[in-house]
Amino acid sequence: MKATPVKGRSFSFRTRGMILHWFWNIILWALVGIILVPILYMLIVSLSPRGEILCPYCSLLPTEWRFANYPEMWKSLKFNTLFANSLTVVGVATIVGTTFAALAAYALARYRFRGADAYSLTVLATQLIPGTLFFIPLFLTFMWIKRNFGIPLVGSNFGGIILYIGFYTPISFWILRSFFASIPVDLEEQAMVDGATRLTAFVFIVVPLAIPGIVSTAIYIFMTAWDEMFFSYTLGIKTIPAGVRQYITGAAGTQLRYEYMAAASLVVALPIALMFFLLQKRFIAGLTQGSVKG
């Protein structure tokens, strides 16, 4: 004897599902609004006259929209040079760091040797130490290299590249190791049976399957290095975050120019936002997608 479905109960479940759907949508949009409030305020500050920003009696919206703040900021900060330096340092560090991380992750995911687990845990343990604790030994090491080998690392783009490769390769290695481990070994073995070498199988079989993970790792390195300020400023690497800080110290010929700082911050965030929106599917796929395609 078949049980007859109850229409009222089915309608109740459907109604409850719709209510929950709209409830979570409202919560999501509320969170998006909260996140956008500081960005909107920064946009207003970037278009405000200097005298109205700290005025306690002025309204939130400026009486005069000063779009000239952007070209003035660009000229006073020499933004072209800072942007080129940031793009060079971060771009090279992203490419080299992702390559090193992919090779190391593949080796530890495929080869079993004595000390592999201990090495992996040691690499992970380095990420638990605050990066600022490395500053003094890092600075002394850079100065020793310059004194003994004549390679200037402090105040140069090459030093920034070395710095970011060393900082972001370990965590990238951990991201990619689990991704390579999820790719079946049978695919490589079949390619090697047909005459491919281990390197050929890695390049033409494993890498195409690992593209989502590699892209997400590269995005992570680029976004993190692009916003890094402490080491770039203290080591004299002329990137955008270090340059924007000049408006606090007065090194750019101005002092406490909040409108210029807000304008520069928005311009800096624009490439990251565009890159994320263009590659967000790849980035999310690298975190959630499986490696085997049927």
DSSP structure class, residue 128: T
Q: Say if residues 42 and 262 touch (Cβ distance below 8 Å).
A: yes
- Enter the tokens of residue 159: 């030093």
CATH number, domain of 188, equals 1.10.3720.10
Q: How far apart are CA 82 and CA 268, in angstroms?
A: 10
Among residues 52, 77, 53, 42, the alpha carbon closest in space to that of 250 is found at 77
The pTM of this model reads 0.77
pLDDT number for residue 290: 43
Q: Say if residues 168 and 97 touch (Cβ distance below 8 Å).
A: yes
pLDDT number for residue 97: 92
Alpha helices in the chain (DSSP H): 7-46, 50-53, 69-77, 79-110, 116-126, 135-149, 157-181, 185-193, 198-201, 207-209, 211-226, 230-234, 240-244, 246-249, 258-288
DSSP structure class, residue 133: G
Same domain, 105 and 248: yes
Within a domain: 56? no
Same domain, 161 and 219: yes
Within a domain: 59? no
Within a domain: 54? no
Looking up tokens 């992570």 gives: 220
Same domain, 17 and 148: no
Within a domain: 145? yes
Same domain, 18 and 152: no
pLDDT number for residue 293: 41
Q: Give the C-alpha distances (Å, rounded to integers) separating 75 from 155, 228, 238, 253, 262.
A: 22, 23, 16, 11, 15
Same domain, 116 and 22: no
Same domain, 107 and 213: yes
The count of domains in the chain is 2
Same domain, 108 and 245: yes
User: Mean pLDDT for each 10-residue chunk of the chain (294 residues)?
Assistant: 53 76 90 88 88 78 86 85 91 93 88 77 79 86 90 90 90 84 84 84 87 86 88 87 74 66 85 74 56 40
pLDDT number for residue 292: 43
Within a domain: 28? yes
Q: Is 230 helix (H, G, I), strand (E, B) or coil?
A: helix
Same domain, 157 and 247: yes
Within a domain: 58? no
Q: Which residues, 6+ apart, have CB-to-CB distance to 120 below 8 Å?
A: 108, 174, 177
Within a domain: 254? yes
Expressed as residue numbers, the domain containing 195 is 69-288
Within a domain: 23? yes
Same domain, 17 and 96: no
Same domain, 181 and 73: yes
Same domain, 13 and 130: no
pLDDT number for residue 99: 93
Among residues 219, 183, 8, the alpha carbon closest in space to that of 98 is found at 219
Same domain, 24 and 96: no
Q: How far apart are CA 195 and CA 205, in angstroms?
A: 13
